[in-house]
Structure 1
Amino acid sequence: MTITKDNIFKVEQITIKDICDKNFRFIIPVYQRPYVWDEIQINKLLEDLRESCRLESDYYVGNIYVTERQDVKKCFDVIDGQQRFTTFWLISLYFKSSKSGIEKFIQTEHHEIRLSFDIRTEVINYLNDLVGEIKSFDEKNLENEEFLKYISRGIKTIDSFFRTEEDQSLVEKMAKFIYERVKFIFNEAPQNTDLNSLFTTLGNSGVQLEQSDILKARLLNILQDQKFEYSKIWEACENMNNYFEKNIQDIFGFDTSKIKETAFSTYNPDVFTLKVQVGEELFVPEGGKSISQILENEEITTEKDDPKAKSSRCRSIIGFNALLIHTYRIYRSKAGEATDIDSFDTKKLLEIFRDFVASADADKVKEFFVLLWRVRYLLDKYIVKWRLPNTDLSDSYEEYLLLTKNTEQDTNFVRSNQAFSNLQMLQSVLYYNSGFTQQYWLTPYLNYLLEYDGETDLLTILEGIDNSMAPGSKKDSSWDLCKDIRIQPSVNVEQYLSKKLGTSFEHYWFYKLEYLLWKNWENKTDNKFVNYRITSKNSVEHVLSQKEEYKNMLTEEPDLLHSFGNLGLLSVGQNSEYSNQHIGKKMIDFKNKPTYDSLKLHYIYKSYEIDEVWDEVKIKDHAIAMINLLKRHYYPIE
Structure 2
Amino acid sequence: MSAQVRSYVQTAATLCEQGISLTIPCYQRPYVWPSSDVDDLLEQIILASERDADDQPAQAHYFFGTVLTSEVIPGSTSDAAIVYELIDGQQRMTTLMVLALALCSLTPSSPLRSLVVLGNAPRLTFNIREEVQSRLSAWAGLTADIEPDEKEVSNPYLIHLSAARKVACDRFKRLQAKGGEQALERVGDYLFNHVTWVNNVMPAGMDLNKLFATLNTSGLQLEQTDILKARLMKRIKQNRATYEGIWQACEDMGNYFEKNLRDVFAGTHWGALRFNDLADHSFDHFTLERPADGYPKGRTISEIRSMKVKGEAVEVPREKDEARYQSVVSFGLLLMHAFRIYRHTQDRRDIGSRLNDSNLNECFSGFIETATAAQAKEFMECLWNVRFQFDRWVVKWVRLGEEDERTLRLSTINNRSKGNGPDWRTVTQDTSDLSQLQSMRYLTGERSAQYWLTPFLGRLVDSPDMTEHQVLALLEQIDNQLSLTEMTQKEASYRLLSSDTAEPVPIATTVAYLKKPNGTSFEHYWFQKLEYILWRERSTFNWLDLEKLHLYRITSKNSVEHVHPQNEEFRRTLPDDLLHGFGNLVLLSPGENSLYSNLAVLKKQAAFRAKPKYDSLKLAHMFHVLGKDDNWGQEQIDKHAKAMLLLIEAHYDR
Could you tell me which residue of structure 2 aligns to residue 240 of structure 1? Answer: 253
Counterpart check, 1:335 vs 2:346: yes
- The counterpart of 1:62, out of the listed 42, 48, 65, is 65
Counterpart check, 1:437 vs 2:448: yes
Could you tell me which residue of structure 1 aligns to residue 306 of structure 2? Answer: none
| Matching of residues 219-234 of structure 1 within 5 Å | 219-234=232-247
Contact 1:487 1:634 in 2 (8 A): no
> What amino acid sits opposite 2:637 in the alignment?
I
Alignment partners' CA distance in 1, 2:286 and 2:372: 25
- The counterpart of 1:404, out of the listed 400, 405, 411, is 411
**TM-score (normalizing by structure 2):** 0.88
- The counterpart of 1:584, out of the listed 588, 597, 602, is 602
Deviation of 1:98 after TM superposition, in Å, equals: 4.0
Alignment partners' CA distance in 2, 1:340 and 1:269: 30
Could you tell me which residue of structure 2 aligns to residue 182 of structure 1? Answer: 195
Counterpart check, 1:35 vs 2:31: yes
Alignment partners' CA distance in 1, 2:294 and 2:641: 58
Post-superposition Cα deviations, 1:32-55, rounded to whole Å, max 9, x if no partner, equal 111110023212212221222123
Could you tell me which residue of structure 2 aligns to residue 192 of structure 1? Answer: 205
Alignment partners' CA distance in 1, 2:387 and 2:82: 50
Cα RMSD of the aligned pairs, angstroms, is 2.1
- The counterpart of 1:425, out of the listed 418, 428, 436, is 436
Alignment partners' CA distance in 2, 1:343 and 1:71: 42
Deviation of 1:75 after TM superposition, in Å, equals: 1.8
| Matching of residues 459-498 of structure 1 within 5 Å | 459-470=472-483, 473-486=488-501, 489-490=504-505, 492-498=509-515
Structure 1, unaligned runs of 5 or more: 290-308
Deviation of 1:501 after TM superposition, in Å, equals: 0.3
**TM-score (normalizing by structure 1):** 0.90
Deviates more, 1:595-604 or 1:96-105: 96-105
- The counterpart of 2:131, out of the listed 116, 122, 142, is 122
Alignment partners' CA distance in 2, 1:140 and 1:609: 28
Could you tell me which residue of structure 2 aligns to residue 611 of structure 1? Answer: 629
Contact 2:351 2:363 in 1 (8 A): no
Contact 1:493 1:631 in 2 (8 A): no
Alignment partners' CA distance in 1, 2:48 and 2:227: 23
Counterpart check, 1:260 vs 2:266: no
Contact 1:7 1:190 in 2 (8 A): yes
Contact 2:71 2:82 in 1 (8 A): yes
Could you tell me which residue of structure 2 aligns to residue 305 of structure 1? Answer: none
- Alignment CA distance shift 1:134-1:415 (3 Å): farther
Alignment partners' CA distance in 2, 1:98 and 1:327: 44
> What amino acid sits opposite 1:421 in the alignment?
S
- Alignment CA distance shift 1:179-1:487 (3 Å): closer
> What amino acid sits opposite 1:190 in the alignment?
P
Deviation of 1:476 after TM superposition, in Å, equals: 2.0
Alignment partners' CA distance in 1, 2:246 and 2:274: 19
Q: Secondary structure at the match of 2:480?
A: helix
Could you tell me which residue of structure 1 aligns to residue 148 of structure 2? Answer: 138
Counterpart check, 1:377 vs 2:413: no
Post-superposition Cα deviations, 1:253-289, rounded to whole Å, max 9, x if no partner, equal 2222211111111110101233xx44xxx68723679
Q: Secondary structure at the match of 1:167?
A: helix
Deviation of 1:71 after TM superposition, in Å, equals: 4.8
Q: Secondary structure at the match of 1:262?
A: helix
- Alignment CA distance shift 1:288-1:311 (3 Å): closer
| Matching of residues 562-573 of structure 1 within 5 Å | 562-573=580-591
Deviates more, 1:225-234 or 1:590-599: 225-234
- Alignment CA distance shift 1:95-1:584 (3 Å): same
Contact 2:249 2:261 in 1 (8 A): yes
Contact 2:103 2:172 in 1 (8 A): no
Contact 2:264 2:292 in 1 (8 A): no
Alignment partners' CA distance in 2, 1:211 and 1:455: 34
- Alignment CA distance shift 1:536-1:375 (3 Å): same
Q: Secondary structure at the match of 1:318?
A: coil
Could you tell me which residue of structure 1 aligns to residue 160 of structure 2? Answer: 150
Deviation of 1:31 after TM superposition, in Å, equals: 1.1
- The alignment of Structure 1 onto Structure 2 pairs a total of residues equal to 601
Counterpart check, 1:51 vs 2:59: no
Alignment partners' CA distance in 2, 1:81 and 1:375: 34
- Alignment CA distance shift 1:310-1:102 (3 Å): farther
Alignment partners' CA distance in 1, 2:322 and 2:459: 29
Could you tell me which residue of structure 2 aligns to residue 505 of structure 1? Answer: 522
Alignment partners' CA distance in 2, 1:310 and 1:104: 44
Alignment partners' CA distance in 2, 1:451 and 1:368: 15
Alignment partners' CA distance in 2, 1:135 and 1:519: 44
Contact 2:495 2:502 in 1 (8 A): no
Q: How high is the sequence identity, in percent, across the aligned residues? A: 36
Deviates more, 1:211-220 or 1:190-199: 190-199
- The counterpart of 1:539, out of the listed 546, 556, 559, is 559
Alignment partners' CA distance in 1, 2:280 and 2:120: 63
> What amino acid sits opposite 1:41 in the alignment?
D
| Matching of residues 383-402 of structure 1 within 5 Å | 383-388=394-399, 390=400, 392=401, 394=402, 396-402=403-409
Deviates more, 1:372-381 or 1:414-423: 414-423
Deviation of 1:57 after TM superposition, in Å, equals: 2.4
Alignment partners' CA distance in 1, 2:384 and 2:503: 32
> What amino acid sits opposite 1:263 in the alignment?
D
Post-superposition Cα deviations, 1:166-195, rounded to whole Å, max 9, x if no partner, equal 434433311100100111112222333333
Could you tell me which residue of structure 2 aligns to residue 298 of structure 1? Answer: none
Counterpart check, 1:347 vs 2:358: yes
Q: Secondary structure at the match of 2:259?
A: helix
> What amino acid sits opposite 1:573 in the alignment?
G
Q: Secondary structure at the match of 2:23?
A: strand
| Matching of residues 266-277 of structure 1 within 5 Å | 266-274=280-288, 277=289
Q: Secondary structure at the match of 2:122?
A: coil
Could you tell me which residue of structure 1 aligns to residue 458 of structure 2? Answer: 447
Deviation of 1:410 after TM superposition, in Å, equals: 5.9
Contact 2:482 2:492 in 1 (8 A): yes
> What amino acid sits opposite 2:94 in the alignment?
T
- Alignment CA distance shift 1:139-1:219 (3 Å): farther
Alignment partners' CA distance in 2, 1:359 and 1:137: 61
Post-superposition Cα deviations, 1:425-480, rounded to whole Å, max 9, x if no partner, equal 11111011122122110000001101112222222211111111125532222112
> What amino acid sits opposite 1:31 in the alignment?
Y
Alignment partners' CA distance in 2, 1:548 and 1:288: 57
Alignment partners' CA distance in 1, 2:14 and 2:133: 24
Alignment partners' CA distance in 2, 1:60 and 1:312: 27
